[in-house]
Amino acid sequence: MQVHEHTETPEKVLPPAERSLVLVGLMGAGKSTVGRRLGNALRLPFHDADQEIETAAGCSITDFFERYGEPAFRDGERKVIARLLAGPRHVLATGGGAFMDPQTRALIKRLGFSIWLRADISLLMERVTKRPTRPLLKNVDPRATMERLIEERYPVYAEADLTVDSNGGPHDTVVQQILNHLASLGIKAAS
Ligand code: S3P
Protein backbone atom coordinates (compact mmCIF):
# COMPACT_ATOMS: atom_id res chain seq x y z
CA MET A 1 0.00 0.00 0.00
CA GLN A 2 1.62 3.22 -1.15
CA VAL A 3 -0.72 5.91 0.11
CA HIS A 4 -0.25 7.06 3.67
CA GLU A 5 -2.74 9.50 5.03
CA HIS A 6 -3.94 10.87 8.31
CA THR A 7 -7.53 9.64 8.65
CA GLU A 8 -8.81 11.26 11.83
CA THR A 9 -11.96 13.30 11.28
CA PRO A 10 -13.94 15.50 13.65
CA GLU A 11 -17.11 13.92 14.99
CA LYS A 12 -19.24 17.06 15.04
CA VAL A 13 -21.88 17.57 12.38
CA LEU A 14 -21.46 20.88 10.59
CA PRO A 15 -24.27 23.13 9.31
CA PRO A 16 -24.49 23.13 5.46
CA ALA A 17 -22.89 26.56 5.07
CA GLU A 18 -19.73 25.37 6.84
CA ARG A 19 -19.30 22.11 4.96
CA SER A 20 -16.95 21.38 2.13
CA LEU A 21 -18.72 20.96 -1.20
CA VAL A 22 -18.13 17.52 -2.66
CA LEU A 23 -18.74 16.76 -6.32
CA VAL A 24 -19.72 13.18 -7.12
CA GLY A 25 -20.70 11.44 -10.36
CA LEU A 26 -19.38 9.29 -13.14
CA MET A 27 -16.18 9.67 -15.11
CA GLY A 28 -16.68 12.42 -17.67
CA ALA A 29 -19.41 14.25 -15.75
CA GLY A 30 -17.15 17.31 -15.38
CA LYS A 31 -16.47 17.12 -11.63
CA SER A 32 -12.94 18.56 -11.81
CA THR A 33 -13.72 21.42 -14.21
CA VAL A 34 -16.95 22.37 -12.49
CA GLY A 35 -15.33 21.95 -9.07
CA ARG A 36 -12.43 24.27 -9.88
CA ARG A 37 -14.79 26.95 -11.18
CA LEU A 38 -17.14 26.51 -8.23
CA GLY A 39 -14.19 26.99 -5.90
CA ASN A 40 -13.26 30.23 -7.69
CA ALA A 41 -16.83 31.50 -7.56
CA LEU A 42 -17.15 30.74 -3.85
CA ARG A 43 -13.59 31.86 -3.02
CA LEU A 44 -12.86 28.43 -1.60
CA PRO A 45 -9.78 26.28 -2.23
CA PHE A 46 -10.26 23.44 -4.71
CA HIS A 47 -8.93 19.90 -4.33
CA ASP A 48 -9.09 17.02 -6.77
CA ALA A 49 -9.05 13.68 -4.94
CA ASP A 50 -7.58 11.80 -7.92
CA GLN A 51 -4.71 14.27 -8.18
CA GLU A 52 -4.08 14.07 -4.44
CA ILE A 53 -3.94 10.28 -4.68
CA GLU A 54 -1.44 10.53 -7.53
CA THR A 55 0.70 12.92 -5.49
CA ALA A 56 0.52 10.76 -2.36
CA ALA A 57 1.30 7.58 -4.31
CA GLY A 58 3.89 9.16 -6.60
CA CYS A 59 2.36 7.59 -9.71
CA SER A 60 -0.59 7.96 -12.07
CA ILE A 61 -3.94 6.36 -11.30
CA THR A 62 -3.45 4.04 -14.26
CA ASP A 63 -0.11 2.87 -12.87
CA PHE A 64 -1.57 2.57 -9.40
CA PHE A 65 -4.35 0.26 -10.65
CA GLU A 66 -1.82 -1.82 -12.59
CA ARG A 67 0.64 -2.13 -9.73
CA TYR A 68 -1.62 -2.53 -6.71
CA GLY A 69 -5.15 -3.20 -8.02
CA GLU A 70 -8.50 -1.53 -7.42
CA PRO A 71 -9.00 -2.50 -3.73
CA ALA A 72 -5.70 -0.76 -2.82
CA PHE A 73 -6.78 2.27 -4.85
CA ARG A 74 -10.09 2.43 -2.97
CA ASP A 75 -8.24 2.21 0.31
CA GLY A 76 -5.96 5.11 -0.66
CA GLU A 77 -8.92 7.08 -2.00
CA ARG A 78 -10.79 6.64 1.29
CA LYS A 79 -7.80 7.91 3.27
CA VAL A 80 -7.13 10.88 1.00
CA ILE A 81 -10.77 12.00 1.10
CA ALA A 82 -10.91 11.58 4.89
CA ARG A 83 -7.77 13.71 5.25
CA LEU A 84 -9.12 16.44 2.95
CA LEU A 85 -12.56 16.56 4.59
CA ALA A 86 -10.94 16.84 8.01
CA GLY A 87 -9.22 20.05 6.81
CA PRO A 88 -10.51 23.57 6.13
CA ARG A 89 -13.66 24.10 4.05
CA HIS A 90 -13.07 23.62 0.32
CA VAL A 91 -14.54 22.29 -2.91
CA LEU A 92 -13.62 18.67 -3.59
CA ALA A 93 -13.89 16.75 -6.86
CA THR A 94 -13.99 13.02 -6.12
CA GLY A 95 -13.25 10.13 -8.48
CA GLY A 96 -16.34 8.38 -9.83
CA GLY A 97 -16.09 5.41 -7.47
CA ALA A 98 -15.48 7.33 -4.26
CA PHE A 99 -19.12 7.85 -3.26
CA MET A 100 -19.75 4.11 -3.83
CA ASP A 101 -17.49 3.23 -0.93
CA PRO A 102 -19.78 2.98 2.13
CA GLN A 103 -17.22 4.53 4.51
CA THR A 104 -16.37 7.41 2.17
CA ARG A 105 -20.05 8.00 1.49
CA ALA A 106 -20.82 8.11 5.21
CA LEU A 107 -17.96 10.55 5.75
CA ILE A 108 -19.10 12.81 2.91
CA LYS A 109 -22.63 12.76 4.32
CA ARG A 110 -21.33 13.73 7.74
CA LEU A 111 -18.79 16.38 6.80
CA GLY A 112 -19.62 17.49 3.27
CA PHE A 113 -22.40 18.86 1.12
CA SER A 114 -22.55 16.49 -1.84
CA ILE A 115 -23.46 17.50 -5.37
CA TRP A 116 -24.13 14.85 -8.03
CA LEU A 117 -23.30 15.97 -11.56
CA ARG A 118 -25.67 13.77 -13.54
CA ALA A 119 -25.06 13.25 -17.25
CA ASP A 120 -26.33 10.84 -19.87
CA ILE A 121 -24.27 8.12 -21.46
CA SER A 122 -23.63 9.87 -24.77
CA LEU A 123 -22.14 12.91 -23.05
CA LEU A 124 -20.05 10.78 -20.69
CA MET A 125 -18.71 8.64 -23.55
CA GLU A 126 -17.95 11.69 -25.69
CA ARG A 127 -15.89 13.14 -22.86
CA VAL A 128 -14.07 10.02 -21.65
CA THR A 129 -13.00 8.95 -25.13
CA LYS A 130 -11.11 12.24 -25.50
CA ARG A 131 -8.76 11.28 -22.64
CA PRO A 132 -8.12 7.52 -22.45
CA THR A 133 -6.71 7.58 -18.91
CA ARG A 134 -9.40 5.68 -17.02
CA PRO A 135 -8.32 2.17 -16.03
CA LEU A 136 -11.92 0.97 -15.63
CA LEU A 137 -12.62 1.81 -19.28
CA LYS A 138 -9.52 0.18 -20.76
CA ASN A 139 -11.37 -2.82 -22.16
CA VAL A 140 -13.02 -3.98 -25.36
CA ASP A 141 -16.39 -2.41 -24.65
CA PRO A 142 -16.06 0.78 -22.56
CA ARG A 143 -19.63 1.82 -23.41
CA ALA A 144 -21.01 -1.41 -21.91
CA THR A 145 -18.88 -0.75 -18.81
CA MET A 146 -20.27 2.76 -18.56
CA GLU A 147 -23.82 1.42 -18.92
CA ARG A 148 -23.20 -1.04 -16.10
CA LEU A 149 -21.71 1.70 -13.91
CA ILE A 150 -24.75 3.91 -14.58
CA GLU A 151 -27.04 1.10 -13.47
CA GLU A 152 -25.01 0.33 -10.35
CA ARG A 153 -24.10 3.84 -9.32
CA TYR A 154 -26.92 6.20 -10.19
CA PRO A 155 -29.19 4.98 -7.38
CA VAL A 156 -26.35 5.63 -4.94
CA TYR A 157 -25.30 9.00 -6.41
CA ALA A 158 -28.96 9.95 -5.98
CA GLU A 159 -28.30 10.03 -2.22
CA ALA A 160 -26.27 13.23 -2.76
CA ASP A 161 -27.57 16.42 -1.15
CA LEU A 162 -28.05 18.06 -4.54
CA THR A 163 -28.40 16.72 -8.10
CA VAL A 164 -27.54 18.91 -11.06
CA ASP A 165 -27.92 17.84 -14.68
CA SER A 166 -25.01 18.42 -16.97
CA ASN A 167 -26.52 18.33 -20.44
CA GLY A 168 -23.44 19.09 -22.49
CA GLY A 169 -23.85 22.88 -22.31
CA PRO A 170 -21.07 25.13 -21.02
CA HIS A 171 -19.59 24.14 -17.65
CA ASP A 172 -20.31 27.67 -16.42
CA THR A 173 -24.04 27.03 -16.80
CA VAL A 174 -23.73 24.04 -14.48
CA VAL A 175 -21.67 26.13 -12.04
CA GLN A 176 -24.33 28.85 -12.06
CA GLN A 177 -27.09 26.28 -11.46
CA ILE A 178 -25.19 24.97 -8.46
CA LEU A 179 -24.56 28.48 -7.13
CA ASN A 180 -28.29 29.27 -7.40
CA HIS A 181 -29.22 26.14 -5.44
CA LEU A 182 -26.56 26.84 -2.84
CA ALA A 183 -27.66 30.47 -2.43
CA SER A 184 -31.23 29.28 -1.78
CA LEU A 185 -29.80 27.17 1.06
CA GLY A 186 -27.82 30.09 2.44
CA ILE A 187 -24.51 28.74 1.12
CA LYS A 188 -22.56 31.66 -0.32
CA ALA A 189 -19.04 32.76 -1.19
CA ALA A 190 -16.49 32.83 1.62
CA SER A 191 -15.85 36.42 2.77
C1 S3P B 1 -13.01 5.92 -11.22
C2 S3P B 1 -13.03 7.21 -11.66
C3 S3P B 1 -11.80 8.00 -11.87
C4 S3P B 1 -10.65 7.47 -10.99
C5 S3P B 1 -10.48 6.00 -11.17
C6 S3P B 1 -11.75 5.22 -10.85
C7 S3P B 1 -14.32 5.22 -11.02
O8 S3P B 1 -12.03 9.37 -11.58
O9 S3P B 1 -10.90 7.76 -9.65
O10 S3P B 1 -10.09 5.78 -12.51
O11 S3P B 1 -14.36 4.21 -10.30
O12 S3P B 1 -15.33 5.69 -11.59
P13 S3P B 1 -12.92 10.35 -12.51
O14 S3P B 1 -14.36 10.12 -12.16
O15 S3P B 1 -12.47 11.71 -12.08
O16 S3P B 1 -12.58 10.05 -13.91
- Does ligand 1 lie within 6 Å of residue 97's CB atom? yes
- Does ligand 1 lie within 6 Å of residue 76's CB atom? no
- Does ligand 1 lie within 6 Å of residue 27's CB atom? yes
What is the pLDDT at residue 31? 98
What is the pLDDT at residue 6? 43
Q: Output the CA 79–ligand 1 centroid distance in Å.
A: 16
Question: How many CB atoms sit inside 10 A of residue 49's CB?
Answer: 25
pLDDT tens track for 32-83? 999 999 999 999 999 999 999 999 999 999 999 999 999 999 999 999 999 9
Q: Which atom of ligand 1 lies at the shortest distance from residue 149's CA?
A: 12
Name 46's bridge partners. Answer: 91
Nearest CA to ligand 1 atom 10: 134
Q: Output the CA 106–ligand 1 centroid distance in Å.
A: 19
Sign of the torsion angle spanned by Cα atoms 23, 24, 25, 27 = positive
Report, as ranges of residue numbers, the positions in the chain whose pLDDT lies below 50: 1-3, 5-10
Question: How many CB atoms sit inside 10 A of residue 112's CB?
Answer: 26
Nearest CA to ligand 1 atom 15: 95
